[in-house]
């Protein structure tokens, strides 16, 4: 008798390492909610093995309909795909892959995830003229694209290595301005939005003291780090009377477009899903 699982739709998350990923928990929650006979699996793939992993996906020899890619494969995913949408092409990084008409397509849903999280948790967040972004790593590309797409006219990127911030500004356009860390107090002044895209505060790492008091009235501080949920940067902002949004929603919302691509139903991010992930974080941070 044939294994019935062969007819099921299966998706993956590939990374190295990847065992910490909560994507299977998110997608399996939705599969159960919709009663879909499918699966979503972890795929630990070393960087040197990733091209072969993608080639198998393209050839149809894989069990997968598509999947997510995380660190360190996002740039390679965009380069190896047959087709990139405009978002993945501009960012030079992809986190979502799917087969369509015999070709492997790539997109970056972190842009959607970042904006959708703030839309849900702090409506009106984009009605500001100036934003400050801390960090110029891979994650900041999607955040800056989201800010630019919402029409925020001045986006200041602060990074320890100035050349990385300059590279981002060159890639993403004239509304993005690059600064060294020394300029942080200056770019915060009058900003309506501050986003941490670095790993500062993750796993108990020390965080510098930041004075958010010079931000504009009604300003918002958010952090894409979500472990811990209340990061040191968010704690500082709250102590100074500034509104905050945690980064968990970005993880949840970025998963929506991929699930729809692979399984054919657009899921909702709700408090039930959020509580499932928070409970897991409390068990194993």
Question: Active site residue: 19, 32, 56, 74, which one?
Answer: 74
Secondary structure element (H or E) that encloses residue 97, with its range: strand 96-100
Q: Is 107 helix (H, G, I), strand (E, B) or coil?
A: strand
Rounded Cα distance, 20 and 42, in Å: 10
Longest dimension (CA), the chain: 69
Check if 46 is active-site: no
115: left (phi over 0), alpha (psi -120 to 50) or beta: alpha
Rounded-to-integer distance, Cα 40 and Cα 130, Å: 39
220-223 vs 154-159, strand pairing mode: unpaired
Q: How many residues does the chain have?
A: 285
Q: Could you give the CA distance from residue 81 to residue 92 in angstroms, rounded to a whole number?
A: 11
In whole angstroms, give the CA distance from residue 40 to residue 43: 10
Which of the residues are catalytic?
74
């Amino acid at each position: 008798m044939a294994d019935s699982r062969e007819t099921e739709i299966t998706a993956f998350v590939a990374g190295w390492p990847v065992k910490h990923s909560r994507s299977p928990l998110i997608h399996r929650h939705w599969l159960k909610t919709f009663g879909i006979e499918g699966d979503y699996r972890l795929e630990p793939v070393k960087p040197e093995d990733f091209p072969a992993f993608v080639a198998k996906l393209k050839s149809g020899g894989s069990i997968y309909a598509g999947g997510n890619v995380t660190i360190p494969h996002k740039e390679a995913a965009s380069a190896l795909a047959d087709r990139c949408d405009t978002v993945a092409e501009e960012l030079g990084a992809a986190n979502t892959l799917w087969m369509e008409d015999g070709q492997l397509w790539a997109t970056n849903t972190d842009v959607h995830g970042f904006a959708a999280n703030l839309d849900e948790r702090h409506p009106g967040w984009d009605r500001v003229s100036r934003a400050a972004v801390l960090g110029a790593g891979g994650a900041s590309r999607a955040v800056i694209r989201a800010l630019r797409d919402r029409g925020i006219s001045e986006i200041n990127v602060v990074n320890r290595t100035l050349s990385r911030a300059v590279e981002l500004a060159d890639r993403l356009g004239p509304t993005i301005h690059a600064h060294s860390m020394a300029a942080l107090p200056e770019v915060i002044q009058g900003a309506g939005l501050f986003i941490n895209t670095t790993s500062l505060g993750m796993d108990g790492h020390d965080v510098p003291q930041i004075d958010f008091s010079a931000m504009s009235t009604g300003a918002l501080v958010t952090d894409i780090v979500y472990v811990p949920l209340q990061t040191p940067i968010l704690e500082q902002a709250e102590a100074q009377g500034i509104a905050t949004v945690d980064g968990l929603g970005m993880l949840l919302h970025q998963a929506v477009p991929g699930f729809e691509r692979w399984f054919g139903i657009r899921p909702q991010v709700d408090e039930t899903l959020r509580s499932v992930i928070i409970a897991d974080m409390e068990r194993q941070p």
